[in-house]
Chain A
């Protein structure tokens, strides 16, 4: 049994987060089961306990016991449950291990029930009593301690940027810097995923090349440069707010008009749509995902592309946090129509795209790795049906997950971020 203080604390968090939106979603579900096929876990694994309603009911039943009329006087009749050991075990498995909060079920619910909101509330309750998967919590802790989620120190960051800058200067045959650091008075501050600095510099190089060729006025801050916010996944609002605040402070110090994020699904959702709510104030700058200005560069002729440089058939995976939850749906398709000669859509796509399985911080929770891969069967089938030779996405978590999916399901399809494809197609130097 959880001790009484833990139960009280978890229920306090439930009460605190019980907004009009959440209460409505608790009441409105009719258990019709129409959302079943919307969930990549259920579609791929076919266990009844993986349908979205069952997962939402793990918390809904606790809510009924504490907040619903009939649930309080006649709990067995409506399935209401006390927050006991068994329920907490079920909540742990559901909230962390069998839902990526991708929101596909929300778009397929005739009632408008927000199961994503219910699961995030369950995560917040578990977080409040210290029940967060170790890998996820470590990522948040490292971020709070070092101001980036991989613990890259300042010297390493500067060395890496300098090395990348030299590589780009050689490639473009120009004098540096191509990647300006701490430049005051520029228009844009650019944030990156620490894995670009540590393991995957091609993405940062590609973005820097695009901005250089477009003649963008931009810089990176050495004070704060991490686009990620894993506290968004662990539903720790205090930590998430702190991470948002660092971006605000760094941008204010540089005096930029816009903050752009490298291709990172949850980072986009967290900073573009949630951070101002956590901070309780609007940003004095505009927040954009790099896909948006990239599409504008192409449309405005600021970068010229030769799609024949990307001759292989490509398909695009919509990251849930950037697409269905972020509204970036048209831009990637416009870019792909200009940067590659054979773009093939997965079916379904856009806001109906299936989650790759790596969302919700799932890649950091190794205890659920086997289920994560099993749940991506539907995505593997979607990719296979396109017969594409390259998967393009716009999110590092999706990229990692899809790379693993490609290997585990024998697809043999490499995965790239969108800006890498664009950088490969750039005509440089401009032809006379």
Chain B
């Protein structure tokens, strides 16, 4: 089997497993009862609160924790942007490597490098601050280290370094299968959590009052 075919196969199997596992997770979630709020005379509209809850994610000044720790917000944004770019890169490299022009390659390199630094800061904080250590399990560290390795090998593949590219695709495939089990799964759940928060708070007239 040719390396390119193997590369496609691992990527496709990894992606298929990821989708399957997340579907299973969502089935488990939707089999749970949703607590209904029947309190009369709500003070606000659920959809107003939902919009407010999601807008807050891109408006750090609206939430005290991100307003006070704005550097953490920047770090969060850069880190996640890099992860998203890196996942996209794995598909581009596998299926449309010619689409990577030099300017795009340079931009991707900058984004991934910034994300790697942001992730490094996160790892440092988790390991060295007492209030972060007490809330960290091995999964918290491994998930972060995995992402850092994924970003690092992504950078190597952008430099067209052969062993780095192979490592990148091995890690990408493992990463795809690993994430539904690890804390990385949060991105499947947070839209629901934001919705529940927004809906409940808006009904009570606390947010989303336009």
Interface residues of A (CB under 8 A from B): 18-25, 27-38, 42, 48-49, 51, 53-54, 57, 69-70, 76-79, 106-114, 272-274, 276-277, 280-283, 286-287, 323-329, 348, 351-352
Contacts and interface: CB of A to CB of B under 8 A. Distances in A.
Interface in B109-154: 125-126, 129-140, 142
Interface stretch (B11-19, B94-102, B167-175, B177-185): B177-185
A20 B134 CA distance: 27
A29 B186 contact: yes
A338 B201 CA distance: 28
Chain B contact patch, size range: 35 or more
Q: What 7 A-B pairs are tightest by C-beta distance, nearest first?
A: A327-B205, A112-B193, A79-B137, A108-B65, A112-B197, A112-B194, A28-B189
Nearest to B24: A69
Contacts of B65: 34-35, 37-38, 108-110
Given A33-B132, A70-B181, A351-B206, A27 B189 contact: yes
Nearest to B131: A48
Contacts of A111: 186, 189-190, 193-194
Dominant SS among interface residues on chain B? helix
B190 A112 contact: yes
28 contacts: A19-B32, A23-B29, A24-B196, A25-B196, A28-B192, A28-B193, A29-B186, A31-B137, A33-B132, A33-B135, A37-B64, A49-B134, A54-B135, A78-B183, A107-B64, A109-B197, A110-B65, A111-B186, A112-B195, A114-B196, A273-B37, A273-B39, A273-B204, A286-B41, A287-B40, A327-B206, A328-B205, A348-B64
Interface of B: 28-30, 32-41, 43-44, 53, 56-57, 63-66, 68-69, 72, 76, 125-126, 129-140, 142, 181-183, 185-186, 188-190, 192-198, 201, 204-207
Contact of B29 (A24, A51, A328): A24
B185 A112 contact: no
A325 B206 contact: yes
Contacts of A32: 72, 76
A20 B32 contact: yes
Nearest to B37: A277
Contacts of B28: 23
Contact of B183 (A31, A37, A328): A31
Nearest to A53: B135
Contacts of A107: 63-64, 201
Contacts of B33: 19-20
Contact of B35 (A20, A76, A77, A280): A20
Contact of B69 (A34, A69, A326): A34
A23 B29 CA distance: 7
A329 B206 contact: yes
